[in-house]
Chain A
Amino acid sequence: MTLLSFGVALLAFVVLGPVLGCFLTGADRIITARMQGRVGPPFLQPYYDVQKLLAKERRSLNSFQGYYLILALVMTVLSGAFFFAGGNILLVVFLISLSSLLFVIAAYSTRSPYAEIGAGREIIQVLAYEPMIILLGVFFYLATGSFDTSAVATLGLPLVALLPLIFVGLLFILTIKLRKSPFDLSFSHHAHQELVKGITTEMSGHNLAVVEITHWYESVLFLGYVGLFFVWAPPLTLVLAVVVGLAVYFLEIVIDNSFARVKWQYMLSWSWIVTLVCCALSMVLLFALYGFVV
């Protein structure tokens, strides 16, 4: 990754990230409505929501909350830029963790009991998906011999053929990352839940708009993780990656609409079991089928 490619990726992600993310969320809301026998909002509804939130009065319980959230947004953007520039996958993973951490701090800073329970649940969610995400980086190295995401372009076959079970594990925790039922414990995009609005309870106006925009960037980045598994040497595979990414997003919407929220104990234990099993079997598979671990 050169400085130039990073600059180009940063610029592209800053501009295209929220647009794509907004379209994804808009499509999500319409598809969700259709699945429930409704018509649903206009396609650009997420954009209207954010525009409205930005037009609201500025007020927050802790004046630092806004800075934490903006920093979280910056971390997400940087992480995405490193990812799409072909940078180090560990850096991508850690920047995104930092973003989650800042989000949690922003919620704790208001000391509202609802926001605190929401933030506590967010931490449990991080605990549930983080091992899988870090092991994804490790297995990426074992399979490609490099931590740079650009290394997939030198492969003779897609990553999903080398690490099918890691892909399954990623799909499992993706539901947590995208804040979909049954794992939308800390806050959900639909209706209100048992904790008022969970982690976002005390975030209003501008701050909520920043949270929403961060979520757009995140969605694109996480679908990028999925796409990574389907890119190899021929450049046309990028199209395949996009198609698979969209298909996975549709699958997430189906899951979102078919399951009720679970308890955190269930989420935590199952995501760790899935991580453990997938990673252990992947190790065996890498050795047995391809006979290599770099």
Chain B
Amino acid sequence: MFRYTLKRLGWAIVTLWAVITITFLLMHSIPGNPFAKEGTMPEAVYNNLQHYYNLDKPLVVQYGLYLKQLAQFDFGPSLKSKTITVNDYIVNGFPVSLHLGMQALVIAIAFGLIFGVIASLNRNRWPDYVSMVLSIIGISVPSFILATFLINFVAVEWGLLPVATWSSWSHTVLPSVSLAMMPMAYIARLMRSSMLEVLGQDYINTARAKGIAKHMIIFKHAIRNAILPVVTVLGIITANLVTGSFIIEQIFGIPGMGEMFVKGIFNRDYPVILGSTIFYAAILIFLVFIVDIAYTFIDPRIKITGESK
């Protein structure tokens, strides 16, 4: 168990390093340099800036310096606004993004599981069809489309809920729902097929042959086992939530990290892009690591082999 954790941790670090290196190289492979565009800059200022951002040093040195910075959780200064660092952006934006992301994740998991279970227990009857139609729509409608439709109808036409900014809870409803829809649909489908498979297993018959009541079998035997595949994809689902949130934050004008990332893209603010990519990747890799370890607790078969299936 300990060795497994260590091994997984090692992998997480290697992966993070790969992400940092790839991102770093990509950002520095851009022809010219970010200040060249701002044509009328005096020579001295230009040189100062080059020096300030370490751009006058060889790439290897820059890479080393950047890694050192990162080790101290310092993502460096932003290019466009000279007084703000990337860390400031993260400190301001991340709590908002986290709030949105968690809310969406909870909605996605809770409703995804509920719909999946209900569908599987009513196979080929109307609750199954309703859940599955909903989830097919869910995976077919990209979050930004759903978001714009919700804004148009729920907010603009019917005036039911407010949009834009992030001031009260009611502001969070539409963005969370837009963001949650696709992962929810995905979880519902996965849970349904997983449940159907588990319900056909011999040990369900064993439990029935013991005289256990149906609802107990569903909770203690079926769901407990059917949920395992869902847990394994939580990492990917979260990754999709994060990338989905870039757009959702942009559409709803939510002052989170996603909005800052997108702004960074528009402004070609490379330290911001670099910093937030690494930050996102670190969070996701950490989450996948947590999910892997958590999995060993809910699936006892993993422990003994020390390998995921």
Please determine whether chains A and B interact with each other in the same assembly.
no
Q: Which residues of A are at the interface with B, using a C-beta cutoff of 8 A?
A: none
Q: Which residues of B are at the interface with A, using a C-beta cutoff of 8 A?
A: none
